[in-house]
Amino acid sequence: MILISFTGLTLQAQDVHFSQFYAAPLLVNPAQTGNFSGTARVGANYRDQWGSITVPYRTFDLYSDAGIQPGKSVNRFGIGLCVLSDQAGDGVLRSNRAQLSAAYHAMLNDDKTVRLSAGLSGGVVQRSLDFSKLTFDSQWNGYNFDSDLANQETGFREQFIYPDFGTGILLTMTPLPYARYYVGASALHLNQPEESFFTDGSNQLGIRYLVTGGAYFPVSEQVSMSPAAYLSMQKKALEVTTGTNFHIETDNGSNSAIFLLGLWYRYLDAAWFMAGYVTGNLTVSASYDFNFSGLTAASNTLGGLELAIIYTFNKSQHKDPLGCPAFE
């Protein structure tokens, strides 16, 4: 069983985001590292956005994490690695990230129904700007822009690298065997790194605060739902998303599977549908954003396509007392 709960929105946001960010758990909260039913998992996400307006913005990430549960302990450690690459439009601006994360998941009661998770992440970010794809006033020859002419620009650098750190906590509760509730908080860019292509400029990346909450419960013998809410704040940028996914179980003997359907709304920005399929240890899903922001006239409401895939190893042999954590 996979709980598809969280999702994201951008209103003047600075960070790369996925609408299906439940499938990119290490980017949302390092406390999610190792928080799943199984021994290890790998996942990938791909986003293609704004193709109706300009050259599409493309984002790709790949991650892997593992849960380490010694002996008969009900507590576990988690370790993980995530890499991300983002290409803005025609490739002028690129961002690459590599980060490690670790978490500890502690059971808080004898009934094994409440677990508190805490995590840390650290990595490096590299950003580059391809000046050969830019044109400047000095390159106008009277008839057109000539890229062979010197741009006469100074005080810029084409790339830079900086360290980046984050932390988070997550509380998961299973008061009943078939119901789960969770609330989490994380803070990213704790060191507020400098991010500027000006050699003498100053652009300090603000701390990004995230609060997430949701639930998972059945509504019939074959259908369950996972409503959730997500709030992100970074400087003056605000992201708010609500919605739900439905898990429709089929029983065909050894070929049992789960169909996933979801509907989400990003405040003053977009809405999207999600569809997916779960079979055994494998989950695949796709979504499409319909844009309702100030770009609607140019985008014709078309937004971004996303694809996600997750594979969990030894899922049926896990020792996790909670059974199905929030991000699985």
Structural domains for the chain: 21-257+293-317 (2.40.160)
Burial of 199 (0-12, 13-18, 19+ CB in 10 A): exposed
Q: For residue 53, what are the CA distances in angstroms to 16, 92, 261, 286? A: 19, 16, 28, 21
Choice among 103-112, 128-137, 179-188, 218-227 with the minimum mean pLDDT: 128-137
DSSP secondary structure letters along 31-89: GGTT-SSSSEEEEEEEEEE-TTTSSPEEEEEEEEEEEE--TT-S-EEEEEEEEEEEEET
Q: Which of residues 326 and 56 earns the better pLDDT score? A: 56
Band of pLDDT at residue 158, cut at 50, 70 and 90? confident
Percent of the chain residues topping a pLDDT of 70: 84
Residues forming beta bridges with residue 96, ordered by sequence position: 85, 126
CA angle at 43 for the pair 260 and 291, rounded to the nearest 5°:
55
Count of helices and strands (H, E) across the chain? 2, 14
Residue 173 pLDDT more than 90? yes
What's the mean pLDDT when you consider all of the chain? Answer: 84
pTM of the model: 0.85
